Structure 1
C-alpha cells in the first residue's frame, strides 16, 4: 500500500455543522422526504424506503438531458432511479449533512442490493448522506458526441447541473464544495475523476475504486467500445463512436481530451484517493482478474501524473487483497474489496485523523 503526503480533509470540517445543529422531533416510523420538481428534473416516483431499516430510499426522475437512456433488464424507459442513504439520525435532527455521490460501474445500477449494502455498512453511524444516481449500463458519465438514434445522452450535464442542485434543494445538505465528495467503482471511478476534473468547484474530495482512468490506453478503449455494442450493457446497442467518437487516430481527439489520467491538474487542492487490486490469482475468475489487473495500470498512470504535478493523494494498491480485507481477492467486482475501499474512503472524508 502506498500513501502519499496528507491532503485537506474539507468534509471533516463540514461535519462539525452537524454537531452544532439542534435536534427536532421525529415520528416513530418516519416517512422518506418528498421531492419537488426542479432544475430540469421531473419526479416520476416519490421516494420509497427500500426496507424496514428506513435509511435508504429510491425515487425516479425524468430529464431532457437523457430522455431515453439505454435500458438494463428491469429499468423503465425515460425514468432514472436515484438511491439515497441517509444518516441514522436524519429524522431526529435539524442538521445539514455533507454528501458523497457514489457512481456505479458497468453494467450495474444504483438500486442493486450490493451497492446498498456497501454504502450502508460504510456509513453506519456516520453523519453523511450518500446519493447514487443512475448512470445507465453504458453511460460512461459523459455527454456523448454521437448518440444518433438514442437521442441526447448528456450524462454529465444531468448529474452535475441537475441532480446536484436538485438534491441540495430537497434534502438538508451542506450545499457547497466543502460539503461534497464524489467516488465511483469501475466505470464510476472514471466518472468520479472525470467530473471532479471538469468541476473542481463542486467537490472537496474524489475517489476511484478500480476505475478505468486512462482513455489513451488501448485496452480501456476496447472495453468502452465493447459496452457500446454489447446487448448486455443495455438495449438498444449503439455505435462504436457514440460516446467519445471514433476510437482510432487521428479521429480520437475526444478520447484524449476526456481521459482523467492525463488531466489531473484541476484536482490541485482537492483530496484524491485511488484504490485498486492486481487481480489476484489469474486462474480464478479470470475475467474479473484481468479487468482489475488492467484497471490497476490506469491507476498507476494516474498516480504518476499526480506525482509529477505535485498533487498529494492517497493510493491503496492492495495486490491480491489478502492484506486489505477479509474475503477480498483483489478482483474487479469483489464486494469485500469494494466494501473495504468504501470504508476507507468514508473515513478519509469524514475523520481528520483517518
Structure 2
C-alpha cells in the first residue's frame, strides 16, 4: 500500500519544473505595502526575460511555518503575478483577476506557470493572474490536526482572507465577484473548487485542470494521505490525519464535508469549467497515466452532481489529448495539455468576467 501511495502522490509533480525568480533589468514593477495580515518580505522583482511577470514574498501568521520543498524558506510565501500587456500602475484602467493554484508538490513561480499565464494573455487580454504559494502538501484548506512542528496551517484563511484583499489593495483590480476567478491544477483544482464552494461570494468563475475533486474516491483519498508521508512533498512530513483528519469511516467526516464533487450547490450562478484527459497510453509513463485516470474519475462524479443540480458547466474530456493540443498526450501534469487548458479557460473568462 505504501508503494501505491507513493506512486500516486509523487506522480502529481510537474517533473523538471523549478522556480525562476531572478530580476531582469526592466522598469520597476509595482511596489507593495504591508496590509491585510501580510508582511512584505521581498518587494516585486521581474522574473527573468519578462516584463509582465514578477514575484514577491510575504509572511502570514495564518501559516507562519510550513513543510518546505527545496529552495523554500519556511514561513516565506512566494507569490507570482502576471500583468496584462500595457498595465500602468498610475493609470485609470482596472482589471479582473484570475487566481491559479498550483499542484502537488510544486511551486507557484515555475516556468510552466509563467508560460501558461503569459501565453494565455498575449494579444492584449486584460487579465491579471496571481499564483500564491500552497506548499507541497497544503491542500488549500485549514488543517484539522496540524503538528506542533509547524503549527497552524490555515491555508484557506491565508488565501481568501489575506491574499485576495492584499492584491486588490496593491494592484489595479476590479475588486468584485464578477471580475474574479479561481482555477488550479491537480491539488490546485481541488483547492479551486473547494474555495469557490466555501466562499461563492468571492468568485464569478471556477476551473479545474485535472483536479482531484472527489475525496470519497478511495484512490484520491490514498493519494492525499500519501502526500503527508512522502519526504518529496516537503520537510518535515506530517501525520496522516493532519490535513482532513482520520481518513477512515466513521471518523472521516471532514473528508466528506470538504469533498467538492458532492457539494456543488453553492456554485449555482457561477461559471464552472473542468478539463481532464484519460491518461493516454498506459505503457508510456504509467504513473502519470494512472493519476490522470483517477482525476478523470473524480471529475466525472463532479459533472454528474452538477448535471443533477441543473448547474450549467463546461466539461472538456480530451481523452489521449491527440485532438486537444499538439504534444498533449492525455497524461497528468503534461505541459502541452495544461497550456491548452489555460488558453481555453481564459477565453471563457473573457466572455464572462467584467473587464475593460
Corresponding residue of 1:154: 154
Deviation sequence 1:15-70 (CA, Å, 0-9, x none): xxxxxxxxxxxxx9431001000111000000000123310000000000000011
- How many pairs are equivalent? 326
1:211 aligns with 2:211: yes
Corresponding residue of 1:285: 285
Corresponding residue of 2:137: 138
Corresponding residue of 1:6: none
Corresponding residue of 1:97: 95
The correspondence for 1:67, drawn from 38, 59, 64, is 64
1:106-145 aligned at under 5 Å gives the runs 106-124=104-122, 125-145=124-144
- Give 1:117 deviation, angstroms: 0.9
Corresponding residue of 1:82: 79
Runs of 4+ in 1 over 3 A off after TM superposition: none
1:1-354 aligned at under 5 Å gives the runs 29-91=26-88, 93-124=91-122, 125-149=124-148, 150-351=150-351
In structure 2, the CA distance between the partners of 1:216 and 1:147, relative to structure 1 (3 Å rule), is same
In structure 2, the CA distance between the partners of 1:66 and 1:352, relative to structure 1 (3 Å rule), is closer
Deviation sequence 1:264-285 (CA, Å, 0-9, x none): 0000000000000000001100
- TM-score, length of structure 2 as denominator length: 0.90
- Give 1:89 deviation, angstroms: 0.6
DSSP-derived class of the 1:43 partner: strand
- Give 1:123 deviation, angstroms: 1.2
- Using the TM superposition, name which of 151-160 and 114-123 deviates more: 114-123
Cα RMSD after superposing both structures: 1.3
State how far apart, in whole Å, the 2-side matches of 1:65 and 1:113 are.
Answer: 28
DSSP-derived class of the 1:310 partner: coil
DSSP-derived class of the 1:108 partner: coil
DSSP-derived class of the 2:120 partner: helix
State how far apart, in whole Å, the 2-side matches of 1:148 and 1:337 are.
Answer: 36
DSSP-derived class of the 2:63 partner: coil
Unaligned runs of 5+ in 1: 1-27
State how far apart, in whole Å, the 2-side matches of 1:233 and 1:53 are.
Answer: 29
In structure 2, the CA distance between the partners of 1:147 and 1:352, relative to structure 1 (3 Å rule), is closer
State how far apart, in whole Å, the 2-side matches of 1:53 and 1:302 are.
Answer: 37
- Give 1:177 deviation, angstroms: 0.2
- Using the TM superposition, name which of 114-123 and 158-167 deviates more: 114-123
Deviation sequence 1:71-130 (CA, Å, 0-9, x none): 000001210000000001102842100000000000111011111111111111211000
DSSP-derived class of the 2:306 partner: helix
State how far apart, in whole Å, the 2-side matches of 1:52 and 1:282 are.
Answer: 37
- TM-score, length of structure 1 as denominator length: 0.91
The answer on whether the counterparts of 1:30 and 1:91 sit within 8 Å (CA) in structure 2 is: no
State how far apart, in whole Å, the 2-side matches of 1:148 and 1:322 are.
Answer: 44
DSSP-derived class of the 1:174 partner: coil
State how far apart, in whole Å, the 2-side matches of 1:186 and 1:29 are.
Answer: 34
State how far apart, in whole Å, the 2-side matches of 1:256 and 1:183 are.
Answer: 22
The answer on whether the counterparts of 1:62 and 1:79 sit within 8 Å (CA) in structure 2 is: yes
DSSP-derived class of the 2:62 partner: coil
In structure 2, the CA distance between the partners of 1:352 and 1:152, relative to structure 1 (3 Å rule), is closer
Corresponding residue of 1:12: none
State how far apart, in whole Å, the 2-side matches of 1:181 and 1:298 are.
Answer: 21
DSSP-derived class of the 1:137 partner: coil
